[in-house]
Amino acid sequence: MSETHPPRKRSRLIGPVLLLLLLIPWYWYNQEIADQTTEFAERTIALLKYGFGITIWLSVAWFLIRTLEVFFWEGFLAAKLGTKVPRLLKDVVAVLIFFVAITGIVATVFDQKVTELLALTGALGFVVGLALQTMISDVFQGIAINIDRPFRIGDWVRIHQRSIPAMIGCVQEVNWRSTRFKTTDGTLLVIPNHIIATLTLQNLSLPQERSRFDLIFCLDFAVPHERALRILRAGALAAQGPLQDPAPKVRVNGVNNFGVEYKVRYWLLPRDMSPDKGRHAISSSILSHLHQAGLTLAYQKQDIFYAEMPPRHLNFRTDKKSLLSRIELFKDLEDDELGELSKSVEQQSYKAGDNVVKRGGQGTSMYILVEGLLNVFAPVNGDDTEIKVAQITPGQFFGEMSLLTGEHRSATVTPQTDVEVYEITKEHVEALLQKRPELAELLSRTVAERRMRNEQVGQDLNKEQKEEQTQSLADQLLGKMKTFFKFLS
């Protein structure tokens, strides 16, 4: 298929074409009448002949440069490369064309030998080269960059400099003297081309647009590696920003004096999220998951105990009371009530893909996610097609409405990774309510605040109106609890 060019591009050729059409007839006409004029006229015509000759050579050069720009640089080559041709390459070719035109003027218009011109040019070039060797080095390194093409306009690169922390930027332009980058903080970084040639550049946009990154986390030897892999993978998957396809991966990287190293591997699109922001998102999410699981990163330590050694990490099987104390729903429970609940709570394990609860099913229990990652599926378009609407991370709970009011399950909850959960049944809560009935009001208030926050209800209300709406929802929940736990009525 033939290549088409917009009228705006072709209109740029009108100027040089018209000038050539006007000058060429005049040039031949002047040659015919040169022998029929007086001496004065002959001199005048000679001057005009020189002027026309010079103008024609320059016009041809101008025409060639414009033709190359329209049909070759912005047409064929740009389509072939899939990006804009760097300005430096076009400028160098334009200078060469004008040099050839000047040489042609000296040889044909003034009938002089070009060897003298070339010799003079070489001598001047030697002198200028000594004075401007840095600038000339920039030019030739810029040409080398355009030929070798280690990066393209719009590529994201990491610049490694000696004794200076690496910098990341997007390539904006390669010109005669320098290469310009826009850094992740929005500033413009200008590096001379001869310095670019000495730096190590890591192109984050080639050979694929996405880039892979690794983070190392070290956990204590006492943490089982299966548990560590589950928590770290769930934390990486829950991070907002890094690509989900391919999904983040976690591997055992090795051991050191502090503990076991785990490598978290993830992918980013640098044009959408800078590596610094991606590292922050992954690290923050994983640290949150570790905190909810009762784990800390390994650190240099030397412990001397003259009494029983305290636990360094919490265990979800034996330290249920400490883990339950971190749950928002139980913030109003007293210490002895937390101890009683922790003795009766049941620990459950689910494999990835299994259903923890099914929408529409009956149930009188709630669940607390201790380790892993859960996805919530529910219909949103008025039909029975379920889509993913939320994600549950460690420390969050679900199913509280079924536990407190007996309502059917409103959504399907499925593990994305292997998970560990605590299940709290109606009987467990009933024992607490019988000893302290006023706890029902505190629980209904906590659930109401959580629903207002999660569903973003009342965002446009003032503080008094929001408080009134929250209390109204809490009263409705309390009424349902009294119906479900009949002894509260």
Predicted TM-score (pTM) of this structure: 0.58
What CA–CA distance (Å, rounded) separates 29 from 366? 101
Residue 2 has a pLDDT of: 43
| 3 pLDDT above the threshold of 50 | no
Instruction: Specify the CATH number of the domain 320-488.
Output: 2.60.120.10
109-113, 155-159, 239-243, 443-447: range with highest mean pLDDT: 239-243
Give, for 183, the enclosing helix (H) or strand (E): strand 178-183
Q: Is the bond leading into 207 cis (omega within 30 degrees of zero)?
A: yes
**Mean pLDDT computed over 341-362:** 90
Answer CATH for 213-292 from 1.10.1780.10, 3.20.20.210, 3.30.70.100, 2.40.40.20: 3.30.70.100
Cβ–Cβ < 8 Å for 74, 86: no
> Helix (H) and strand (E) counts for the chain?
16, 15
Bridge partner list, 420: 349, 371
Among 143, 57, 97, residue whose Cα is nearest residue 49: 57
Q: What percent of the chain has pLDDT over 70?
A: 79
Residue-wise DSSP of 444-469? HHHHHHHHHHHTTTTTTS-HHHHHHH
pLDDT in tens, 392-439: 998 888 998 898 888 999 899 999 999 999 999 999 888 888 888 888
43: helix, strand or coil: helix
Among 230, 250, 227, 248, residue whose Cα is nearest residue 239: 248
Residue 163 has a pLDDT of: 65
| 33 pLDDT above the threshold of 70 | no
What CA–CA distance (Å, rounded) separates 341 from 138? 73
What CA–CA distance (Å, rounded) separates 296 from 177? 51
Q: Is the bond leading into 246 cis (omega within 30 degrees of zero)?
A: yes
Residue 228 has a pLDDT of: 94
Lowest-pLDDT range, 173-177, 290-294, 396-400?
173-177
Cβ–Cβ < 8 Å for 195, 163: no
Q: Do domains 149-203 and 320-488 have the same CATH topology?
A: no
pLDDT in tens, 61-77: 888 888 888 888 788 77
Q: What's the mean pLDDT when you consider all of the chain?
A: 82
| 295 pLDDT above the threshold of 50 | yes
Residue-wise DSSP of 302-356? ----SSPPPPSS--TTT-HHHHHTT-GGGTT--HHHHHHHHHH-EEEEE-TT--S
Domain boundaries, the chain: 7-131, 149-203, 213-292, 320-488
Architecture of domain 149-203: Roll (2.30)
| 369 pLDDT above the threshold of 80 | yes
What CA–CA distance (Å, rounded) separates 354 from 374? 10
25-29, 153-157, 240-244, 452-456: range with highest mean pLDDT: 240-244
